[in-house]
Amino acid sequence: MQLSVKHLLGIRDLTRQDIQIILDTATQFKEVLQRPVKKVPSLRDVTIVNLFFENSTRTRISFELAEKRLSADSINFTASASSVSKGETLLDTVNNILSMKVDMVVMRHSASGAPHFLAKHIPAAIVNAGDGINEHPTQGLLDAFSMREKLGRLEGLKVAIIGDIMHSRVAMSNIYLLKKMGAEVTVAGPPTLIPKYIQEAFDIRVEYNLKKALQWCDVANVLRIQLERQNQVLFSSLREYSLAYGINKQLLDSLDKKIVIMHPGPINRGVELDSDAADSNQSIILQQVENGVAVRMAVLYLLSGGRELS
């Protein structure tokens, strides 16, 4: 069994079977991470460059750790400290790095579609670590992995994605993935942060009332308000947003079931999620981070193979 794709550009391109293979492989890597020696030699002949044109803590550390656990050689690249600030183009930057014999590229970029552009022009396998407001496929996969681990299934699961849907690549990857795996999805948030076309485009529910969305779901995936991507005023203040769409323990306790709280990080504490909810026993936020390494190992492992040895 092999993946149907050569790159991981987005969940949109994956088949249901691809997702299944990645999640199952990640389960085995999670076991590897519990061993006394948390490392396997699978990718010891592979060199991976992490190209981060945008800030990141979790994703970057998670990818780096995944690469090291697979015994790959990894190089880190930060746009601000590179020749990009001298005016070098994306393609030139990448081609220069590839000429030093790099096999795979992990890239985060603020422009949607940047990894798709690269995939057309370079021979290396590309893993999208987030492109603009398009997709963040490994986050979608680790969210699904965490849901499956916590609740045992994805099929038929009710997932509410709450907050800034408009600017969220995490939301896009989650929606694609959950729909492919047969889960039910509701997006909830203020009307200004939910794209109009989303209901028909993805066959999902839209809910403007937070409590109703929470009452309906098994899992609430709470998103960060992406102030850096909003170039117009979409709600009057963070305080107002938090009053209408912030989740706290009191709200969770008022529901008649215990739902699971997820967040892709970084959390704006007190805005979309209060500390008492984020740190409660209903939250699996730190498990998501832990699972991220196993999921990224699976992706890198599955995309690394099948090359002809020259």
State the nearest-atom distance from the C-beta of 115 to another protein, in Å: 21
136 is in an annotated binding site: yes
Q: Which is nearer to another protein, 38 or 239 (CB)?
A: 38
Residues 246, 174, 159, 200: what is their CA dihedral angle, to the nearest 10 degrees?
Answer: 100
Tokens of 199: 């209901």
Calpha distance 294→46 (Å, rounded):
18
State the nearest-atom distance from the C-beta of 27 to another protein, in Å: 8
4 binds another protein (CB under 8 A): no
State the nearest-atom distance from the C-beta of 172 to another protein, in Å: 27
307 binds another protein (CB under 8 A): yes
Q: Which is nearer to another protein, 35 or 86 (CB)?
A: 35
137 is in an annotated binding site: no
98 binds another protein (CB under 8 A): no
Calpha distance 49→51 (Å, rounded):
6
Beta strands in 132-279 (DSSP E): 158-162, 184-188, 205-207, 219-222, 260-262
State the nearest-atom distance from the C-beta of 212 to another protein, in Å: 41
1 binds another protein (CB under 8 A): yes
3-state secondary structure of 198: helix
Number of H helices, E strands in the chain: 12, 9
78 is in an annotated binding site: no
Residue type, 74: S
Residue type, 95: N
259 binds another protein (CB under 8 A): no
Residue type, 269: R
Find out whether 250 and 220 touch, Cβ atoms under 8 Å: no
Strand order in the sheet with 184-188: 205-207, 184-188, 158-162, 219-222, 260-262
Please, which of residues 21-50 interact with another protein by CB under 8 A?
A: 21, 24-25, 27-28, 31-32, 35-37, 39-43, 45
Calpha distance 179→170 (Å, rounded):
14
Q: Which stretch binds another protein (CB under 8 A): 147-155, 221-229, 231-239, 297-305?
A: 297-305
58 is in an annotated binding site: yes
Q: Which residues are annotated as a binding site for carbamoyl phosphate?
A: 58-59, 108, 136, 139, 265-266
Q: Which residues bind another protein (CB under 8 A)?
A: 1-2, 21, 24-25, 27-28, 31-32, 35-37, 39-43, 45, 301-302, 304-307, 309
Q: Which residues are annotated as a binding site for L-aspartate?
A: 86, 169, 224
Q: Which residues are annotated as a binding site?
A: 58-59, 86, 108, 136, 139, 169, 224, 265-266
